Each structure stands twice: as structure tokens, then as C-alpha cells.
Amino acid sequence: MKKIFFCSVILYIFFNTITASASASANVTISVNSKSQYSKTFTADVNVLYKNKELYNDNVFLSYHVFDSNHQLIRWEGERFPFKLDSKNDVTVSLQVDISSDLKQMNKQEAYVEFDLVDEEHAFWYSTKPEINLYTEQIKYSNNIYLEFYYTLSNAYNENRVIFIGNLIFLIVLMTGLFYWRMKLNR
């Protein structure tokens, strides 16, 4: 058991080091706050970090591509989102992503959203230019009703815990009251 645990820790460190070194050598890094989604419409906090600011201009937009579970392209060009870099060549953009029409049209239950940057001034996507070392993370969408329910509850809890807990207490009191009322009627 100790050997399995030790090997798991070593593999975890190894794979995280590979990911970290891949993003460390990149000219531009795009990272996301959540790697999985269970709703076809979701909010993603996307961080864009430029190590080479010469690649940035005011006509660069954040966008995304949608792929199916076999990494076949569903949609190349998602909505474009403008952004401005701060003094550290960094920005976090909170954006609303809607892939429902893409999935409905293709009748897919699983998809990947991959973020990319498009330079409208020079007319190219960063991911298509081999001389730009772009590191980007994906968000995996899965159509699982139980996970979507859990995700919805956890988002409600994280966004406003006081209201969530108040609603939960009200629900418990209501269900208990209904249970006792029903028991009283049956006597």
C-alpha cells in the first residue's frame, strides 16, 4: 500500500512538473479557473499572461474553439472578447461561454473548450503560428445530470453562502413541518 501511495505521489509530481515547464517556456500562457463544466452555458475566469509583450496589440482578442471527445473540431471561432493587459503583462477575463448550440447541432454529450488569441491587426490565430509558443488549458464539458446538479449547488453555495444556508434551513423546516402535518392527518 505504501509503495502504491509513493508511486502515485511521484507520478503526480512528475506530470505537474511537465505541465509547469510547458507553461514556463511559453511566450503566452492561457489558464482557466476550472477544468470541467457540466452546464452548456458557464462563466469562465481566463487568465492571459504574456512573457513577450511584443506579441500584444490592442486588436488581440480572447476567443475559443470547441472540440468533441475525439478532438474533432465542432466550432473554430467562438465569441471574441476584448482585453487590456496590466503593467505585469497579465489579465484575467471573466467571460460567459455558451456551447449549447454547438452541442445541439452535433448531438454531442461531451466537448472540450480550448481558449486561443486572435490578432485582428495581423490576421492570425496564436495557435496557428508555430513561432509563437502558446500554452493553453482546456475546459471539459460533460453532460451528466448528477454532476450538473452538484455543480449548480456548489456554485450557489460559493457565490452566497448566507442565502444558500438560509434557503437550506428553510427547506428542512418546511419538509419537517409537512412531514409532521401529514402524520397528524393520518391519526
Q: Are 120 and 58 in contact (CB under 8 A)?
A: no
Domain residue ranges in the chain:
27-143, 144-187
Asked if 80 and 62 touch (Cβ cutoff 8 Å), the reply is yes
**pTM across the whole model:** 0.68
Helix (H) or strand (E) holding 24: helix 2-24
The three three-digit cell numbers of residue 141, written as one number: 464539458
Domain 27-143, classified CATH 2.60.40.10, yes or no: yes
| Alpha helices by DSSP H, 25-125 | 100-106
Residue 161: which pLDDT band, with cuts at 50, 70 and 90? confident
Q: Work out the mean pLDDT of the chain and round it to a whole number.
A: 84
- Are 30 and 137 within 8 A, CB to CB? yes
Q: Do the beta carbons of residue 55 and residue 26 sit within 8 Å?
A: no
What's the order of all strands across the beta sheet hosting 134-136? 90-98, 41-50, 28-32, 134-136
**What per-residue confidence (pLDDT) applies to 125?**
96
- Rounded to an integer, what distance in angstroms lies between the CA atom of residue 19 and that of residue 29? 12
How far apart are alpha carbons 41 and 34 in whole angstroms? 14
C-alpha 62/C-alpha 83 separation (Å) is 7
Q: What is the mean pLDDT of residues 85-97?
A: 92
Asked whether 151 and 37 are in contact (CB, 8 A), the reply is yes
As a whole number, mean pLDDT of residues 28-55 equals 90
CA 90 to chain centre: 18
